Structure 1
Amino acid sequence: MIVIPMKEGENIERALKKFKRKFEKTGVIKELRGRQVYKKPSIKRREEKMHAIYVQKLQQAED
């Protein structure tokens, strides 16, 4: 359960923004979307490798 501590007189919009940020970090929506369609394990591994290669290229470009 996500708990957002609110201070006295804090704006409700700010609390909602904090809640949305915390909820997004949990990855619930991402997992639900991933479960809508079955992906073979080999395809999952291939996508993970491609993502790792992409991230590595980005890091090398920064250096």
Structure 2
Amino acid sequence: MLIIPVKEGENIDRALKRYKRKFSNTKTMRELRNRKQFTKPSVANRARKIKASYVQQLRTQEEIG
């Protein structure tokens, strides 16, 4: 549970913004979306390899260019 201390005289919008930032940093929504649908480990590994090769290509292009 997130606890956001609101200082006296503080704008409620500012406190709400701090809450939203803290909530997004906990990665709760991302975890919920990932748990909605099961992905097989082989599919997850394949996606990880594809992403790694893409990042590697970007880095080599950056070095060259």
TM (normalized to structure 1)? 0.73
Does 2:40 align with 1:40?
yes
Structure 2 segments unaligned to the other structure (5+ residues): none
Once superposed, what is the RMSD of the aligned Cα atoms? 2.2
Partner residue in 2 for 1:7: 7
Structure 1 segments unaligned to the other structure (5+ residues): none
Task: Give 1 or 2 for the bigger CA radius of gyration.
Answer: 2
Q: Please give the alpha-carbon distance, in whole angstroms, between the structure 1 residues aligned to 2:2 and 2:32.
A: 18
Q: Please give the alpha-carbon distance, in whole angstroms, between the structure 1 residues aligned to 2:38 and 2:8.
A: 47
Q: Please give the alpha-carbon distance, in whole angstroms, between the structure 2 residues aligned to 1:57 and 1:9.
A: 52
Distance 1:47 1:15, change over 3 A: same
Identity %: 54
TM (normalized to structure 2)? 0.71
